[in-house]
Amino acid sequence: MPDFSRHFSQPGSDGALPEGFKEWQWGVIYTVRPELLSPLVRGREYRIMAVTRRRVAKTVAKDQDFTAYEELYRQAAWAARARIGEATCADEGEPLHTWITSQSWGCFGETHRFAAAGIGLGLIFPNPGESPSQGVNPPDSAELMSPGPLPSVSDPRQIDEIYNEFDVRELPCAHSDIFLFSYGEYVPDHRGMAFDRFVERAEKLAAAHAGAHAGIGPLRIVKREWLWATNPDVAVVHVYLHLTGK
């Protein structure tokens, strides 16, 4: 277990990954702007995007249709809506309004086939008298049996929260029970900042994600990394979890 007593004033790491572990095979890449962590500004629209991606089993031939998009879509929708329930506004007034801005699902790749589903949400605390967008309707089960709309091209700078979940493991593989939660938070200027709050948020979200998956037992942190990614400045925390029952 990593040493939780250390001070996070500088980039660093603790814990260790086992020999033979192949990184970036199973996990979540999550990026958020700090504005979404504070009470939201009434009248301002915010954007959330979530994507779930899975390796298609080799038993599904290229000339066969993949039909299990509903599970992927539901997971992406859960991720996009997970924190909306925590959203608050700085003043009293109209309740939070959300709508679907975009959605997609399909299979991609030639050498390695992947199935993916994505959803974009808008959210706003509307001003009195405003009529916010109603967006598009979610697909039904029948629509999710075959490929749907293609992913739309979005400018990441216009998205306040991005959640990218992936599971591209080719089982069996070594240490397949280690899961990565990669947390990124934009900051105006990282100079003079410590990592304490970012590590705390990363661990909280990693635990929430793991706890939402049926069949996953107690989790144990095996390694953490904290660093700065610049241009623009982003605090990055990698939390590697050992998950039992998966």
Per-residue pLDDT of 179-237, as tens digits, reads 999 999 999 888 888 999 999 999 999 988 876 654 555 678 999 999 999 777 999 99
| 71 closest CA partner among 54, 93, 83 | 54
Q: How many CA atoms lie within 13 A of 137 on its CB side?
A: 4
Q: What is the DSSP letter of 89?
A: B
CA distance 188 to 11: 17
What pLDDT digit, counting tens, does each position of 69-111 carry? 999 999 999 999 887 888 888 888 889 999 999 999 999 877 6
- For the segment 148-157, the average pLDDT, to the nearest whole number, is 75
The predicted pLDDT at position 111 comes to 66
Locate 117 and state its tokens: 């589903």
The predicted pLDDT at position 246 comes to 47
Reported as type and span, the H/E element at residue 73 is: helix 69-81
What pLDDT digit, counting tens, does each position of 102-143 carry? 999 999 877 668 999 999 999 999 999 888 889 999 999 999
Determine how β-strand 26-32 pairs with β-strand 178-186. parallel
Please state whether the peptide bond connecting residue 232 to the residue before it is cis, i.e. omega within 30 degrees of 0: yes
CA distance 143 to 165: 22
**Global pTM?**
0.89
Reported as type and span, the H/E element at residue 116 is: strand 114-124
